[in-house]
Chains A and B, each alone.
Chain A
Amino acid sequence: MATKVFMEALSPTMEEGRLVKWLKNEGDVVKNGETLAEVETDKAIMELVARGDGVLRRRLIAEGTTTAVGTLIGVVAPADENIDALVAGSGTPAPAAPVASPPAATPAPAPTAAAPAPAPVQAAPSAPPAAPAPAAAPANDASLRSSPLARRLAADHGIALGALHGSGPGGRIIKRDVEAAASSTTPPSAAPSAATPVSRVPSPLSGEQYRDVPLTQIRKTIARRLAESIGPVPTFYLTAELDMERVAEMRTAMAELGDAYKVSFNDIVIKAVATALAQHPECNAHWQGDSIRYWNRVHLGMAVAIEDGLITPVIFDAHSKGLSQIAAESRDLAKRARERKLRPEEYTGSTFSISNLGMFGIDQFTAIINPPEAGILAVGGIEAKAVVVGGDVQVRRRMRVTMSCDHRVIDGAAGARFLQTLRRLVENPLLLVY
């Protein structure tokens, strides 16, 4: 049985492709799934694979030819089959083929991506107050029988129902089936209790560099709804005014120890932010479209103004570096940033960013998040102000920070809790020693 080879849409937006190179000659044996050619799309060079077994009987276009998606460009067939009729109308595009999806995913915790999932997942039961109501689940596949509880647990664990074997009557997927699947694939930190869903936030600062967590229905819906209303990154802002008196005292005390121990306010803020992020991994994350990457390490991007723009060198593992090391690195990175001497690996890979415009006399501002990071902290200047403390008016040095948060990743309460911790660290800086 002959298989037609078409110019396929190898990316969703592709309308035509350029055949860069044939990898098989006419007469070569071809197996289903083997690469036939390299095709250049609007974005990159992709592989065109055979969709049947046989012999590559005909190559209908030459290397270097650009042709529309749907054009017949070859035929794979048994060696002895007559294909004259097939190639007679060559050049007429067949109806546009659908996106060539990769071979069916192996049963894994991550559900299939944006395209309609074969294993629909029940909407989560009730949304937290901050989030809009979850969208209704897509129409259930009648052959996938499952108890409501099993559907909900599967959604919480990010397990595709279609990947499960149902041990209930009639193949019904029930709680024990989901639990069995979850305990074999989720990390050891997952709670075994059936009633409570597994925590989505990983244990920080140990083992792996990161852990990908597929999106639950709630997160998907929040993402979709908020993105629709506000633009690509649905952002909200949290401002806090921090008392800097103790930091000022500490910095003065450090300076008295000698030049080697001099640190800037910004260094202390960096240290505090990194420490706070280590305690709030839910803010130390990347939005990845179909999942959220929670980082187990804090790599802080530090925005530096340079002559015609800005660049953000990274202090890697900022959470585990002492103040003096942070001070040394930040000085060095800033200097080399202005000298245009930073290497790419020094200004990529941040998990969170800080931008400080205090030296320009800015009281407070809102910074723009660097995607795929989920948050950025904008630091204003330190200013002496009249402040009411315990009923009395005192003059104290205050600093305002504004956190921009990607609502697809960070909810209001999560951001607020991070700032609470940051405040505690900044206003009690001795905590940074521990």
Chain B
Amino acid sequence: MPIITYRDALNHALREEMQRDDRVFLMGEEVAVYQGAYKVSKGLLQEFGEMRVVDTPITELGFAGVGVGAAMAGLRPVIEFMTWNFALLALDQVVNAAAKMLYMSGGQYPMPMVFRGPNGAALQLSAQHSQAWESWLAHIPGLKVITPGTPYDAKGLLKAAIRDDNPVVLLEGEMLYNTKGEVPDEDYIVPIGKAEVKREGDHCSLITHGKSVLTSLQVADALAKEGIRVEVVDLRTIRPMDVETIAASVRKTNRAVVLEEGWEVCGVGAQVVDYVQRHCFDHLDAPILRVHQEDVPMPYAKNLERAAKPDVAKTIAAIKQVMYVGT
């Protein structure tokens, strides 16, 4: 099976879906002539032309709304935000229009569109370019929110999102674009709403998503050497979250740690903890612990940023705590 980058996986998904359905188009800043700010849309302008790969002015609110209008008129837009930090400006269109249109219109106007772009921190990009947006968006009924952490999942989930008749928020990651993995050439999708156990184990469930999947696998490898078998549960979709897979894992291992790159308060992990305590109460041998970014805006200095982010060491410490190792 070919090994390609996460970036190329997204590129292939876009290309294949645009070939498959001529109602699909890509719109955003620098997506056409520049070939994509992160080169995700490389080569697409040449293949599909400027009506289907559309450069916009710097107008997040404006072009997100254009996407909504195009969807109302029967097209299937893919709206790219250069980063989700800029999408804050567009939230009126994502939340008040796209998420609610089907409902407000009594079922008359579905929103078959995708909002996508890199999410969360990269390296030393400072406070305004480093936020993770999952929990804001996953709060909204009417949206689906997906967070692939591997190239395989990226291609499969983007395809599923484009084919979905609902507005789907796809949160990628600048730090993920260069990661590599096996991705089949042929057409396949990863279903939205289905988590995946990326590593099996029976000592502790490590529940995570997005770029933290890589961290989790490193944690599992390190702890395996100490005889601790961690089960890594990759959520893949934040809304709707796959409660069954989470619960089955914790029922097996009796303990859980939730790892995410967002902040603590009302973060994705808080929702996971609620599901676990509700569905696995009698199976828990320890409280559920969370590992996340420190409760501060992201600082610039390299050492401070490292201290702010969740990492392998912090996750290992949490797992050992719920396993009562060393007590």
Contact = CB atoms under 8 A, between A and B. Distances in A.
Given A149-B254, A167-B324, A175 B282 contact: no
Contact of B324 (A122, A151, A168, A194): A168
Contacts of B324: 167-169, 174, 176
Contacts of B52: none
A149 B327 contact: no
Contact of B282 (A148, A168, A176, A195): A148
Contact of A195 (B252, B284, B286): B252
Interface in A135-171: 147-152, 167-169
A168 B254 contact: no
A174 B252 contact: no
A167 B283 contact: no
Contacts of B281: 148
Interface residues of B, number: 11
B286 A152 contact: no
Interface string A179-198: 00000000000000011000
A168 B284 contact: no
B285 interface: yes
A166 to B, nearest CB: 11
Please classify how large the interface on chain A is, using the bins under 10, 10 to 19, 20 to 34, 35 or more. 10 to 19
B252 A147 contact: no
Contacts of A176: 324
Given A175-B254, A194-B254, A195-B252, A147 B327 contact: no
Nearest to B254: A149
Given A167-B324, A174-B324, A149 B285 contact: yes
Given A169-B327, A175-B254, A195-B252, A125 B282 contact: yes
Interface string B296-327: 00000000000000000000000000001001
A150 B252 contact: no
A167 B282 contact: no
A122 B285 contact: no
A386 to B, nearest CB: 53
B317 to A, nearest CB: 15
Minimum-distance CB pairs A-B, first 3: A149-B285, A147-B285, A125-B282
Interface of A: 122, 125, 147-152, 167-169, 174-176, 194-195
Given A149-B283, A151-B282, A168-B286, 20 more contacts: A122-B282, A147-B284, A147-B285, A147-B286, A148-B281, A148-B284, A148-B285, A149-B285, A152-B283, A167-B324, A167-B327, A168-B324, A169-B324, A174-B286, A174-B324, A175-B254, A175-B285, A176-B324, A195-B251, A195-B254
